[in-house]
Structure formats: C-alpha cells, structure tokens
Amino acid sequence: MRAAANRLTRGTGDRRRPDALTALSGAGVIALVAVAVLAPWIAPYDPLASDAANALAPPSAAHWAGTDQVGRDVFSRLIAATRLDLAIALSAVVASLALGSVLGAVCGYRGGLLDRIVGRGVDVLLAFPLFILAIALAAALGGGAVTIVVATAVVNLPFYVRLTRAEVNARAGAGWVEAARLAGNGPGRVVFGVLLPNVMPVLAVQASLNLGWAILNAAGLSFLGVGVEPPTPEWGIMVAEGARYLTAGKWWLVAFPGLALTLAVLAFNLLGDGLRDRLDPRGHRG
Amino acid sequence: MAGLMRIVAIVARRLAAAVPALFGVLVVTFVLMRILPGDPASLMASSPSAGPEEIAEIRARLGLDGPIPEQFLVYLGDLAQGDLGQSFVTGQPVATDLMERLPASLELILVALIAAVAVALPLGVAAALRPATLLDHGVRVVGTLGVAIPTFVTGLLLIYVFYYRLGWAPDPTGRLDVFLDPPPRITGFLLVDSLLAADPAAFRAAAAQLVLPAATLALFVMAPLVRITRAAMLEAMASEHVRAARALGIGRRRVVLVYGLRTALVPVLTVAGTVISTLLGASVLVEKVFAWPGIASYSLDALAAGDFAPVQGFVLLMALIYVVLNLVIDLAYRLADPRVTLA
C-alpha cells in the first residue's frame, strides 16, 4: 500500500509546500492581474488608433506583435484585452459563486420545496451542452460584455449550487453545527455564519479552476460573434478578425492573441490544480 | 433474452426520468426565443415598407398575438408535429434544413470522438503503467495544454501549418472539394456514402477534408480524457484486487487489461457526460473555423441575419442529442461496473 501511495503522489511533491509549477502559475496570475490593472500605462500605443500606411506589418522592434488590418498595434491591443477578458471572467465566476453558494447552502440546509425546485432548475440547465446554452443566452440577450458575463455565470451556476448543497448537507449534522444551533443561533446565522465559511475553501478551488474555463467561454462567444463586438480589443475577437488574413500568411494576428489566451487559461488551471492538491487531497485526479 | 429485456427496461426508465428535464429544455428555448431581439412578423413581411395591417396579419398567422402561455401551447403543438418553424434565410422549414445538415455535424463529432478515445485511452494507460517517465510527463503536458488552448486557435494554427505552409491539407472550407461530384446521398455521411457508391476518389477527398477539423476537435476533448484515464488507471493498478491478481501469477497483459483497465473505465465513464458536453460545444467553434456545412454553421449564419427559428431549432436539437448520448453513456456505465444495480 505504501508503495502504491507513493506512486500516486510521486511528482506532486510535499503537499504543504507549493511545488514549483503552482508557484510559477501563481506568479503568472499576478502578472496577468498587474497587466490588466496597469493596461493604459504600459501599452506602447493607443489600442484603437489605426495607421493605414502601416497595416498588416509583421512583428518588428516598433510593433512587437505586428499590426492588424487597419494598422493598430497588436501588442497594445493584447494588453488592453487582458483587462477586459479578466474582468469578464472574474465577474462571471464571482456572480455564479455568490448566487450558487447562497442557493446551494439554503437548499442543502433546509431541503423541502425550495430544494426540489432549485434541483429541477439545475437539472434543466445541465440538460444542455454548456457552451450551446451560453450561445443561446448570449444571442437572446443581444451581445456585449455584460451579456457574456451573464451567459457564463448562468451556465456555471449549477456546479456551485450542487457543490455547495452537497458540502453543506454533509456537514449539517456535525457536532459543531449542532453546537452553534444550541448556542441559540437562528438558521440564517448557522448557514451563513458557520456552515458556508467552512465550505469556502472547496468553493475557492472550484472558482480558481473555473476562471480558466470562463476565459475560454467568453473568448469563444466573442469569436462566434455573439459577445463583445469589434473594434473593442478582446482576445476572441482579435483571433476572429485575424483569421481572415491567416491564409495570406499573417500568422501574428492569430498566434499572439491565441498565445495570450492559452497562457491565461494555463495559469489559472495550474493554480487551481495546485490549490486543490493542497486543500483537498481526496479529490486528486491526475 | 432476459438481459435484453433488462436493457429495454433501463432505457425506458431513463427516458422517463429525462422527461421533466426535457420539458424544462422546451420552456427555456421557448422563453429565450421570446426574449430574442427582432420581430419575426416584420422579418417575414413581403417588403420593409409593409403596412401595419400586413404585419398584424402575419403575427396572427404565426400565433404571436395570443397570450404567452397560449403561444407556448401552440409551440408545443407545432413541435409534436415536427414543425420547428420557417427559416427566412433559406425559405425552408427549419426541420428540413437541420436534417439536411445534421449528418455533416454528426460525422465530424463522431470521428473526433472515436479518434480522441482511441488515442487518449492507450496514452493514459501507458502513462499510468510507467509513472514519472518521459512518456508520463509528456502525457501530462498534453493533458494540461490541451484544455488550455482554445479550440478555434488550434484549428486556425493547424490550417496555417498544414494548408498554408506545408500544403498537405486541402482548402479548409467545407466537406468536399467543390470540383468533385458528391456521392449519391444515402446516409448523408460522406465517408459512408462514398464507400456505398464505390467511389474511392470521393472517399479520399472527404476524408482529407475531415482530418483537420476532426483533429482540432479531438485534441480538445482528448486532454481531459487522458488525464482521467491516467489517474483512474494509477488508482486501479494500486488496488487490492490487482495486487491479488498479480500475486496469483496472472499474466501482466491480463492483469492490466482485465483487472486494471476495466476498473479504471468506471471513473472514465463518469466524466464522459462532461466530455460530450465539451465536444458538442466545441464543435460549434470548429464548424465556424472550417466553414463546415453542419447545423452549427447554419444556425450561426441565421443568427447573424436575425433569423431566430433556426437558432431555436439548433439549441433544441443539440440538447436532444446530448440527452441521447448521456443515455448511451449511462448504459455503458452500468455494463462496465457490475456493482451498479441494473435498476
């Protein structure tokens, strides 16, 4: 058994010390946030300023990531897009975390009619392939950044509801919950003051794993034309616009926003994996 | 015989259990379409300058003037007759349009799924049998990178390398070279139809068109499959019953394939639902990148033109496909894990 256990954990290192990969991904996330916050100050050019004489120029010393079809600096647009994409993903995850955890906690603690209604609603949302539902929602709400946030948040909601409901339900009969109840706390205080904070670490891991997915979701919607609209700098739109010039050999219009997307998703995924291994060794899956 | 009866009973029971969720799906698609911008009646009117009487008359004909619950009943009645409405762009019933394009989408999705499973399972097993080797690290990198690179970026980069740079792949638009006669339509699956027509040239051409989009889609769904296979196999190989089988001197092949892999398949199948959801969602992006003439491209074109009946039909059809595939997975799960009672 010992040998087997060793083999399972080999390569993941000591759980109490963050391994190099998790530390690196954490640094990546901090760097992304810094770029997003400082975007207007570090972008070398105006991300919306066109320069027709200098359109579709390959990467050079003046334009590190080249220029697009109207001569806008791709590097500056990437920086500006970092802010928008992170803001969308973060808002969506926070929204579904807030709503989902409250709903799930109440359902898990009280049960009853509300629990059954919410459960049915969750089943219905999960009967759709996620991204298809997101497309339908974005189309119905009519595009724009707020629409993407809502679509991404709704699609994500079932997972937070289910997770919180299950975790709260599993703890509801524990001795320390009983103690809180006997100390005279009302159900509201027991759920939101005692149970929910206890479940938060599990939810935080889920949220950080979710951020990468939310970025992909938002970029995918914009790529399809149901999300943020051009000329706003956004990674998905930049890829969609650049795709038209790809078979003319203008690879940088697709490659750089694609790289930005990949690095951002990778950073959040690896950080989430690392956090999960530390906080919840049971749930370790590859 | 008894086994077959049991499977029929399970299918019936699962279908019955899916009814409330399916009804919810109908409500959601109906509500979404009521929110959608644009008025179908004014879109359908003969000219942009059509008078209000004409538009009101069309609204009445479409049943758009009644109260919402009544409209929902009308919608259900139409659905029961297989009527998904009319597309203004193609001028055809949406159901006809969707059925015409469904084989293209299914061909892409199924080929990608088979390719992903065929690569992911052996890779995951091999990595689990030799942990911390170069192969294992490689598999983990693939599993991590595969879910981080957006599908549409993978597709575009494959086009750039294999079509633009190397010239190995054909023009990445559509299912068949425009200069080639398609085989007579029997199943709608070009790979099958060209074989049935004994037309090797068409088969080769169709397969060549399919390689890049299917590979794009397969790469994206392969990553989670590889990860879960590797983890499940590691756990299975460390389990008591595999140790017992080893101790009994059963051959390694048999231990790995029968005692290890069969146990590992159960957790793999539990994530299959998520994998299928990802697959169906990503297929929309792949169809867009490769101008693949399937149901997703069709509804995206309709959406861009403000024609919403095809979008509604598409969402409904995708949800149906998803429910059916989940049912298949559920059956496979019951067959793979003898502990799950066949109730």
**Residue of A127, A225, A251 lying closest to B323 (CB–CB):** A127
Distance of residue B199 Cα from the nearest chain A Cα, in angstroms: 30
pLDDT at A1 over 80: no
Task: Flag whether residue A8 sits within 8 Å of chain B, measured between CB atoms.
Answer: yes
Task: Flag whether residue A245 sits within 8 Å of chain B, measured between CB atoms.
Answer: no
pLDDT at A282 over 70: no
CB atoms A261 and B150 under 8 Å: yes
Query: Residue B172 is part of a domain; what is its CATH number?
Result: 1.10.3720.10
Classify residue B157: in a domain, yes or no: yes
pLDDT tens sequence across A108-145: 888 889 999 998 889 889 889 999 999 999 888 887 88
Among B141, B153, B268, most A C-beta atoms within 10 A, so best to mutate, is: B153
| Interhelix angle B134-146/A252-279, nearest 10 degrees | 110
pLDDT at A192 over 70: yes
Q: Which of residues 52-71 of A touch B (CB under 8 A)?
A: none
Residue B323: give the domain boundaries. Answer: 101-178+208-336
CA distances from B201 to B105, B132, B180, B198 (A): 22, 45, 9, 9
CB atoms A269 and B147 under 8 Å: yes
Q: Which residue has the tokens 């975007």?
A: A39
Among B31, B270, B285, most A C-beta atoms within 10 A, so best to mutate, is: B285
pLDDT at A17 over 70: no
Confidence band for A152, pLDDT divided at 50, 70 and 90? very high
More confident site: A21 or A211? A211
CB atoms A11 and B131 under 8 Å: yes
| Tally of CB atoms within 10 A around A109 | 21
Q: Which residues of A touch B37 (CB under 8 A)?
A: 142
Please list the helix, strand and coil fractions of chain B in percent, rounded to the nearest 5, in that order.
Answer: 75, 0, 25
pLDDT at A98 over 80: yes
Confidence band for B157, pLDDT divided at 50, 70 and 90? very high
| Tally of CB atoms within 10 A around B42 | 14
CA distances from B117 to A106, B123, B144, B217, B226 (A): 40, 10, 17, 12, 9
**Are the beta carbons of B331 and B15 closer than 8 angstroms?**
no
Q: How much is the average pLDDT of B6-25?
A: 81
Instruction: Output the DSSP codes for A21-41.
Output: HHHHHHHHHHHHHHHHHHHHH
Task: Flag whether residue A6 sits within 8 Å of chain B, measured between CB atoms.
Answer: no
Lowest mean pLDDT among A13-17, A49-53, A249-253, B48-52: A13-17
Distance of residue B17 Cα from the nearest chain A Cα, in angstroms: 11
**pLDDT of the residue at A197:** 87
**pLDDT of the residue at A285:** 42
pLDDT at B82 over 50: yes
The amino acid occupying position A70 is V
CB atoms B278 and A131 under 8 Å: yes
**pLDDT of the residue at A11:** 46
Distance from C-alpha of B266 to C-alpha of B254, rounded to nearest angstrom? 18
Residue B216, both tokens: 């794009």
CA distances from B10 to A116, B315, B339 (A): 24, 27, 16
- Report the residue of chain A nearest B167, measured CA to CA: A247
Q: Which residues of B touch A6 (CB under 8 A)?
A: none
**Are the beta carbons of A157 and A125 closer than 8 angstroms?**
yes
**pLDDT of the residue at A84:** 92
- Report the residue of chain B nearest A263, measured CA to CA: B148
Classify residue B277: in a domain, yes or no: yes
Confidence band for B70, pLDDT divided at 50, 70 and 90? confident
Rg (CA), chain A: 22
Residue A54 burial class via C-beta count within 10 angstroms: exposed 0-12, middle 13-18, buried 19 and up: middle
**pLDDT of the residue at B2:** 62
Q: What are phi and psi of A108, to 5 degrees?
A: -70, -30
Closest CA to B227 of B276, B164, B275: B275
**Residue of B148, B232, B277 lying closest to A212 (CB–CB):** B148
Domain ranges of chain A: 82-279
Q: Does domain A82-279 have CATH number 3.90.1150.180?
A: no
Among A32, A116, A130, A131, most B C-beta atoms within 10 A, so best to mutate, is: A131
Task: Flag whether residue A269 sits within 8 Å of chain B, measured between CB atoms.
Answer: yes
Share of residues in chain A with pLDDT > 90 (%): 32
More confident site: B343 or B300? B300
**pLDDT of the residue at A280:** 60
pLDDT at A6 over 60: no
- Report the residue of chain A nearest B229, measured CA to CA: A286
Q: Which residues of B touch A225 (CB under 8 A)?
A: 300, 303-304
Asked if this assembly's ipTM is beyond 0.95, the reply is no
CB atoms B152 and A133 under 8 Å: no
Average pLDDT, chain B: 83
Distance from C-alpha of A59 to C-alpha of A73, rounded to nearest angstrom? 10
Classify residue B26: in a domain, yes or no: no
CA-CA-CA-CA torsion sign (A138, B327, B144, A167):
positive
Distance from C-alpha of B116 to C-alpha of A173, rounded to nearest angstrom? 44
Q: CB contacts < 8 Å between A and B, how many?
A: 169
Number of structural domains, chain B? Answer: 1
**pLDDT of the residue at B110:** 93
CA atoms within 13 A on the CB side of A237: 22
CB atoms A258 and B280 under 8 Å: no
Lowest mean pLDDT among B92-106, B147-161, B222-236, B254-268: B254-268
**pLDDT of the residue at A10:** 45
Share of residues in chain B with pLDDT > 70 (%): 91
pLDDT at B34 over 70: yes
pTM of the entire predicted model: 0.87
**pLDDT of the residue at A221:** 93
Confidence band for B50, pLDDT divided at 50, 70 and 90? low
**Are the beta carbons of A202 and A105 closer than 8 angstroms?**
no
- Residue B132: partners with Cβ closer than 8 Å, 6 or more residues away: A10, A11
pLDDT at B343 over 50: no
Share of residues in chain A with pLDDT > 70 (%): 91
pLDDT tens sequence across B173-231: 888 877 777 888 888 888 888 888 888 888 888 888 899 999 999 998 998 899 888 88
**Residue of A11, A255, A258 lying closest to B150 (CB–CB):** A258
**Are the beta carbons of B162 and B208 closer than 8 angstroms?**
no
Q: Which residues of A touch B135 (CB under 8 A)?
A: none
Distance of residue B261 Cα from the nearest chain A Cα, in angstroms: 16
**pLDDT of the residue at B48:** 58
More confident site: B39 or A145? A145
**Residue of A124, A219, A246 lying closest to B24 (CB–CB):** A124
